[in-house]
Amino acid sequence: MIVKFHPVHAALAFGLANAAVAALAQAPVYRQVWGGDFLQGYVADGELIEIRGHGWSDGPDFFYKINIPSAMPPALVDLAGIDAAIQRRLQSECASKGQFGAGCQVVIRGKAGPRSRPNVVRSLIASDIQFMPER
């Protein structure tokens, strides 16, 4: 059986298929890495990564490290690309005056960056942050 398509329908179907492929091709792919590898410099600057660990806000800044007892210096997380509601939640629920206090467990997706200021080992430009349940 031969099915004939009207040229407008064929063009519409072709256009939708191309748009779907383009959307999939443009979706960023984040590589899951252990936070220690990121903090120790084993992840290249500019690489899109996903890390899990301990995050805390101290005033306007948000920091990341593997876990609370880790003595390793933290990474500074740039929240400029994060939704304002999530930023407010991070500031309220993850507040801590220092790396050994409170905070929260998070999954961060973003772009790895270099050391941005003293007392941090790396920076991370966040594009998405999700809260993990406390253990």
Tens-digit pLDDT profile for residues 87-99: 999 999 999 876 6
Q: What is the DSSP string of 23-84?
A: HHHHS--PEE--HHHHHTT-S-TT-EEEEEEEEEEETTEEEEES-TT--S--EEEE-TTS-H
Please state, in angstroms and rounded to a whole number, the distance separating the CA atoms of residues 68 and 54.
Answer: 6
User: Which CATH superfamily does the domain covering 31-131 fall into?
Assistant: Nucleic acid-binding proteins (2.40.50.140)
Please state, in angstroms and rounded to a whole number, the distance separating the CA atoms of residues 94 and 106.
Answer: 10
Length of the chain: 135
Give the predicted TM-score (pTM) of the model. 0.77
Domain ranges of the chain: 31-131
Does the pLDDT at position 45 exceed 90?
Answer: yes
Residue type, 44: A
Tens-digit pLDDT profile for residues 76-88: 999 999 999 999 9
Tens-digit pLDDT profile for residues 3-24: 565 555 555 556 566 655 555 5
Other CB atoms within 10 A of residue 48 CB: 15
